[in-house]
Structure 1
């Protein structure tokens, strides 16, 4: 869950620390607290948009996220990233598991 807007999304990718163009970093992380967040893991998160078929994508530091389980948000395109929802969490597609093999134990 995204902490500021209380939106429920699904993480589909992550970086060990912020990876973005300098202009974007300056625009998004202009204060001291945000600058510290540059060295924390960042996550690509999908959220449902304002209409059922729309999608919002965010790139957020770990400090702005809270992990929740047992919830399956209705977000378009999740089947591109995950094979299914097991009642607790989403299970990655094989191609995504290849990109993030260290997360495989979390899916087992």
Structure 2
């Protein structure tokens, strides 16, 4: 089984750390005008056998510099203004390749029949 959780992200290039189950998948990112916050919806497996991993996300505005190793997740738009909020997963250069390999292995494991 799996579920979708909603998380509030810090703004102004401050890092948000989330504890997510291995095999998570970001499904949506949106700027909610009433709260003036960027939200992230993440699909996570409900299996308690899967380890919890800490992942970091950062919200940046258009034109702001971002390290090459960071991975773009999604962009949230202000529906009534010119602002765009870009959500990046904070990835260290040496972790980037290992993390991609781990995520692919988890996706393959989940795709196999039980």
Which structure is higher in helix share? 1
TM over 0.5: no
**What is the TM-score with the length of structure 2 in the denominator?**
0.24
**What is the TM-score with the length of structure 1 in the denominator?**
0.25
Which structure is higher in strand share? 2
